[in-house]
C-alpha cells in the first residue's frame, strides 16, 4: 500500500536568453489546503483555530496524504456506526492529528477479527483499539503514547449472586470474539464462554438472560450502558486486567508523526477537550448543588481538634449514589485522613467505583481543588472524573486530568 500520494505542481521555469532581454511570464499554480473537517465534532470543541488549518471543502486535496484506518465497528465510544454514520473518539482524534500532521483519514469499519486480518494483510495503515500483549508486540508497532484506558471488568445483573471472578465457575460468560477478555477466560476451568462478534452483542446476551455475566472493556461498556439508558447492571470491583489503548501503525514515519502530534495535543489541551466530549457525562445544575450540599453537611462531622479546619467531601457515582466523607485528624499528623479520601474509599468499598464527580467543601464555603495526592487517587479511577470548583452561584467543573496532567500510571 502506498501511504503517501503526492502530486507535484508545475514549477515555472525562468528562461534567460544570453545577450537578450527576457520575455517570459512565470506560470502559477494554486495549492489547495488540507481538509480540516473533523467529522461529528462541534466547532466549539476545538477552539484553537490557530493550530488547525482552515478549509472550505471536506474533500481530500490532490497534494494530501491519505491513510486507511481499520477498526471495530462496534467499539463505542472509540469507534462505531450510528445512524448510518461512522463516529467515535479514535476517529476524531486521528482526524485531528491529520490536520496537524498533513494527512486525511479513510475509515474502514468492520468486525474486530476482520480488522486485525486486514491490517496483517497490509490493507491498512493504522488500526485502532489495541491493547498491548506479548503476541501483539510482535505483530504491531504501537504508538508511544496511549489515548485511552481499557480495564477488563465483569458485568452482572444487580440481583446476581456473583460477587467475584471466582464465582464464575459453572456460569455462562459472554465475551467478544478475538478480544483480550476471551484470551483470559479460555483457560478458566468450568466456565462456559460464549463468544460474540461485538461487545454490544455480549452485553445484550447478559440482559436477555442468555449469559450470567459479561466480561469486557469498562470504558466501552459503561458508555454503552449510559448511551442506551440501561439499568440494573453493576460491575465487580476487581478488574481482570488494566490496559491502555493505542494505535497500531504500519509505516515508521507515520508512527513518528502520530507520536509527535499526540504529544502536542496533550500539551495544548486539545486532547482533553476531545476526551471530555466523548467520555464525560456533564453534570446537571441539580447534581452540582446536591454534591455541594452533601459535602457541606459532611464537614459538620469533621474530627479536626488540632487544625480546627473542618472539611467535607462528596463523591457522585454513575449509579446516582452520593458518598460523603470528612477529615479525621490524629495526634500523629501522618495518620490523619482527608475528607475526599474518606468519601472515595467509601464508594470503592461499596463496590461502586464508577465515579463521575467530586466536591471538596472548605470552611470558607468554597469548593476547592483536591490536593496532589488526592488527584492521584482520583486519577486511578478515571481521568474523566469531574471536580467541582468555585463558590455559590459560580461553580465550574474540570476533569481531574486537567488539574493533574502528568499522573503516575502503570497501565500497559
Q: What's the grid cell of residue 34?
A: 488540507
Around Cβ 86, how many Cβ atoms within 10 Å?
17
Query: 356 and 317 in contact (C-beta within 8 Å)?
Result: yes
Q: What is the CATH number of domain 1-279?
A: 3.40.190.10
Cα distance between residue 73 and residue 200, in whole Å? 11
Q: What is the pLDDT of residue 63?
A: 61
Residue 314's beta-bridge partner residues?
324, 359
Q: What is the pLDDT of residue 7?
A: 38
Chain segment 32-84, per-residue pLDDT in tens: 333 333 333 333 333 333 333 333 333 445 567 999 999 999 999 999 988 88
Q: What is the pLDDT of residue 33?
A: 33
Every domain of the chain with CATH number 3.40.140.10 lies at: 285-403
Q: From first to last of its 412 residues, what are the pLDDT tens digits of the chain?
A: 433 333 334 333 333 333 333 333 333 333 333 333 333 333 333 333 333 333 333 344 556 799 999 999 999 999 998 888 999 999 999 999 999 999 999 999 999 999 999 999 999 999 999 999 888 999 999 999 999 999 999 999 999 999 999 999 999 999 999 998 999 898 888 999 999 999 999 999 999 999 999 999 999 999 999 889 999 999 998 999 999 999 999 999 999 999 999 999 999 999 999 999 999 999 999 999 999 999 999 999 999 999 999 999 999 999 899 999 999 999 999 999 999 999 999 999 998 999 999 999 999 999 999 999 999 999 999 999 999 999 998 999 999 999 999 899 887 7
Contact residues for 393 (Cβ-Cβ < 8 A; gap 6+): none
Q: What is the pLDDT of residue 186?
A: 85
Q: What is the pLDDT of residue 338?
A: 98
Every domain of the chain with CATH number 3.40.190.10 lies at: 1-279
Which run of H or of E encompasses 108?
strand 103-110
Query: 297 and 304 in contact (C-beta within 8 Å)?
Result: no
pTM over 0.85: no
Q: What is the pLDDT of residue 237?
A: 86
Right CATH for 285-403 from 3.40.140.10, 3.40.50.300, 3.30.420.40, 3.40.50.150: 3.40.140.10
Amino acid at each position: 500500500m502506498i501511504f503517501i500520494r503526492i502530486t507535484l505542481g508545475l514549477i515555472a521555469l525562468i528562461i534567460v536568453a544570453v545577450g537578450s532581454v527576457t520575455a517570459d511570464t512565470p506560470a502559477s499554480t494554486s495549492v489547495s489546503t488540507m481538509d480540516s473537517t473533523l467529522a461529528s465534532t462541534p466547532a466549539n470543541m476545538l477552539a484553537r483555530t490557530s493550530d488547525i488549518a482552515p478549509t472550505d471543502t471536506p474533500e481530500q486535496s490532490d497534494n494530501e496524504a491519505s491513510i486507511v484506518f481499520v477498526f471495530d465497528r462496534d467499539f463505542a465510544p472509540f469507534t462505531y456506526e450510528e445512524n448510518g454514520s461512522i463516529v467515535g473518539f479514535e476517529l476524531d482524534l486521528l482526524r485531528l492529528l491529520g490536520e496537524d500532521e498533513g494527512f486525511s483519514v479513510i475509515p474502514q469499519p468492520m468486525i474486530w477479527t476482520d480488522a486485525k486480518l486486514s491490517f496483517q494483510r497490509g490493507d491498512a495503515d493504522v488500526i485502532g483499539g489495541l491493547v498491548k500483549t506479548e503476541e501483539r508486540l510482535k505483530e504491531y508497532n504501537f504508538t508511544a503514547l496511549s489515548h485511552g484506558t481499557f480495564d477488563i471488568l465483569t458485568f452482572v445483573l444487580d440481583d446476581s449472586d456473583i460477587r467475584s471472578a471466582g464465582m464464575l465457575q459453572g456460569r455462562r460468560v459472554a465475551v467478544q470474539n478475538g478480544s483480550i477478555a476471551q484470551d483470559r477466560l479460555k483457560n478458566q476451568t468450568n466456565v462456559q464462554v460464549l463468544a460474540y462478534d461485538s461487545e454490544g452483542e455480549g452485553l445484550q446476551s447478559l440482559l436477555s438472560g442468555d449469559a450470567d455475566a459479561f466480561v469486557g472493556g469498562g470504558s466501552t461498556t459503561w458508555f454503552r450502558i449510559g448511551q442506551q439508558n440501561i439499568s440494573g447492571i453493576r460491575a465487580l470491583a476487581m478488574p481482570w486486567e488494566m490496559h491502555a489503548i493505542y494505535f497500531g501503525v504500519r509505516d515508521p514515519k507515520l508512527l513518528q508523526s502520530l507520536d509527535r502530534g499526540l504529544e502536542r495535543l496533550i500539551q495544548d489541551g486539545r486532547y482533553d477537550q476531545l476526551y471530555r466530549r466523548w467520555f464525560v457525562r456533564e453534570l446537571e445544575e441539580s447534581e452540582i448543588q446536591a454534591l455541594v450540599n452533601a459535602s457541606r453537611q459532611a464537614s459538620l462531622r469533621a474530627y479536626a481538634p488540632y487544625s480546627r479546619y473542618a472539611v467535607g467531601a462528596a463523591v457522585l457515582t454513575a449509579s446516582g449514589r452520593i458518598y460523603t466523607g470528612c477529615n479525621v485528624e490524629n495526634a500523629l499528623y501522618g495518620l490523619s485522613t482527608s475528607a475526599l479520601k474518606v468519601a472515595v474509599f467509601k464508594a470503592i468499598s461499596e463496590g461502586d467505583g464508577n465515579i463521575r464527580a467530586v466536591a471538596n467543601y472548605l470552611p470558607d464555603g468554597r469548593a476547592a481543588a483536591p490536593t496532589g495526592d488526592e488527584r492521584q487517587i482520583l486519577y486511578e479511577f478515571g481521568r474523566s472524573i469531574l471536580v467541582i470548583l468555585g463558590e455559590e452561584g459560580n461553580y465550574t467543573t474540570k476533569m481531574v486530568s486537567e488539574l493533574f496532567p502528568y499522573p503516575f500510571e502503570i497501565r500497559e
